[in-house]
A and B are shown apart, each in its own frame.
Chain A
Amino acid sequence: MEHLQAEMDALRNEMLEMYNLVLSQVERAQTALIDTNLSVIKEIGSNEKLVNAKELQIDSRCETILALFTPVAVDLRFVLSALKININLERIGDIADNIARTMSHTKPGFDQELLEKVNAKGAFTMLLEMYKSLLQAFEKEDTLLARDILIRDEAIDSITEEAITITEEYTRSKPDSIGQIVPLISIMKMLERIGDHLKNIAEEIIFYAEARVLKHSSPK
C-alpha cells in the first residue's frame, strides 16, 4: 500500500524534525543556565512556537492515518506511539521554555559555585546524552538503547534529590543566596521532569518495536 507507506514515511520524518527541534531547545536551555547566556533565552521563546506548530502537524498526520487507512499491527503501534512521543517531546520543549523564563527572572544569573555544587551541568550533560541515545533508538528501532534510558533516568532523579539537600546547606551558610535557591530548585525539578519524559518516550519506542507495554512496570 504505497499511499499508506508514503504517509507513514512522512510521519517518521516529521517525528525526527520534532526530536531535533526540541533537542536544540534543550541545548539552548543548557547554554542559558550554565553559561548564563541570556541572549539565548529569547531564541528559546521564539522557537517554542515552532515546536507547538510541529506538534499540531504530527497530531494532524496521525489523525489522517488513523481515519483514512485504519492501520493495524506495527503500523497502528507506530501511530499510537507517535501520538504519545509527540506529547512528551512538546512537554520537554515547554520545560526548556520554562527554564528560559525562570532564568530571565533570575538576574544576573546563578553563582557558578552553586551550580557546581548541585551538579546542574552534570544533569544537563546526562540528559542530553540520554536524549541523543533516544533519538538513535527511534531511528534504528533499537530497544536495547531505549531500555538503557529507563535505567539512566534514575541517575537524574538522584542528582535532583541531592540538589535539594545541597541547597538547604548552602542557604544556611549564605542566607543572601535565597533569591537564587528557589528558582534553582525549580529548574532542577524541571530537569527531573525532562528525564521522566525521556523515560516515557523510551517506553513508547519499546511498545512500537516489540508490542510490549512497560508503563507502570520495572524495566525488562
Chain B
Amino acid sequence: MEGTILRTENLQISFGDNKVVKGINMEIAEKKVTAFMGPSGCGKTTILRAINRLHELTPEAKVEGKIFMHNEDVYEMEAMTLRRRVGMVFQRPNPFPTMSIAENVISGFILNGIKLKTQEKNEIIEDALKKVALWDEVKDYLKKKGTSLSGGQQQRLCLARAVAMKPEVILLDEPTSALDPLSTAKIEDLLYELKGNYTLVIVTHNMQQAARISDMTAFFYLGDLLEYDDTKKVFTNPKNEKTQNYITGRFG
C-alpha cells in the first residue's frame, strides 16, 4: 500500500489462554481515516490498543508478532516516545479533573516534565483548541476546569490534548458513543478535517459512522481480519459474505 504508516505482521494477542486476535497482517495508510468495525469481541479495540502498547499495562496480556511505524518496530521504541507520536482518544471523554481547560491541553507536556515558556504554552493551547474547533467556545474561560464543559466539548478537549503533542497518528476508541447526535456530528466533521494532517484509526460500533468518515474500512470477526478495502467498496459490494451480513444488519 502506498504511503503506509503502520504495518502489522502476524499480530496475535491473548489474554491468558484466550486468544483474542489471531494473526493480523495489515497496512494502514498515512493521513487517511481507517475504521475498524465488527461485532463485540472481534478484537478491534484490542488491536487498536496494541498500536500504542497500552496492553503493557495489563499483566495477563500477551502480544506476539510485530507492529511497525514507518518501518520501526513499535515494541522496540521507548514507550513514552511512541505514545507522543501515537495519541489516543477514548470512548468516555476523560479530561483530567484537577486541571483547567488550558492545562488539559498541555497535560502531555506537564506529565512528561517538558517545560514550556509562557508564549510557547499559549501558542500550543490556542493552536490545538483551534484545530478542534473549540477555541471560540472556551477562549475566555481557559482557567475553568476541563470537566465544566459539556460532553461533546470535553471530547474535543481530549482531541486537543492529543493534537497538542503533534502526533503522527491518533487512535480513537469509539469516540462518539457517549455523545448526543449533534456533538457526534461535530466530532465527525472535525475528524474529516484532521485527516489532512494526521493518520486516524477509529474503532466504531456505528457502521454508518465508519461509512461516513473513513477512507478504508477493516472488518474483524472473532479475531480475524475478514475484509479490508476502500470504504466505498466495503459498503457497496463487500467481498466477504460475513461482511455483507454484518453491514446489512443480518447479524452483529
Contact = CB atoms under 8 A, between A and B. Distances in A.
A68 interface: yes
- Secondary structure class of chain A's binding surface, majority of residues: helix
A68 B192 contact: no
B25 to A, nearest CB: 26
Contacts of B213: 3
A11 to B, nearest CB: 15
Nearest to B210: A68
Contacts of A168: none
Given A69-B211, A70-B208, A1 B232 contact: no
Given A3-B212, A4-B212, A69-B212, A63 B189 contact: no
A126 to B, nearest CB: 41
Given A1-B212, A3-B212, A67 B236 contact: yes
B231 interface: yes
Nearest to A63: B236
Given A67-B236, A68-B212, A69-B212, A3 B189 contact: yes
Given A3-B212, A3-B213, A68 B232 contact: yes
A2 B211 contact: no
Contacts of B189: 1-3
Interface in B186-230: 188-189, 192-193, 208, 211-213
Interface residues of B, number: 13
Contacts of A64: 232, 236
Nearest to A4: B212
A70 B236 contact: no
B235 interface: yes
B77 interface: no
A70 B192 contact: no
Contacts, number: 29
- Secondary structure class of chain B's binding surface, majority of residues: helix
Interface string A37-72: 000000000000000000000000001100111100
A68 B237 CA distance: 12
B185 interface: yes
A56 B213 CA distance: 24
A67 B207 CA distance: 11
Contact of B211 (A1, A63, A70): A70
Contacts of A69: 211-212
A3 B193 CA distance: 9
B55 to A, nearest CB: 32
19 contacts: A1-B188, A1-B212, A2-B189, A2-B192, A3-B188, A3-B189, A3-B212, A3-B213, A4-B212, A64-B232, A64-B236, A67-B211, A67-B235, A68-B231, A68-B232, A68-B235, A69-B211, A69-B212, A70-B208
Given A1-B188, A3-B213, 10 more contacts: A1-B189, A2-B189, A2-B192, A2-B193, A3-B192, A4-B212, A64-B236, A67-B211, A68-B212, A68-B235
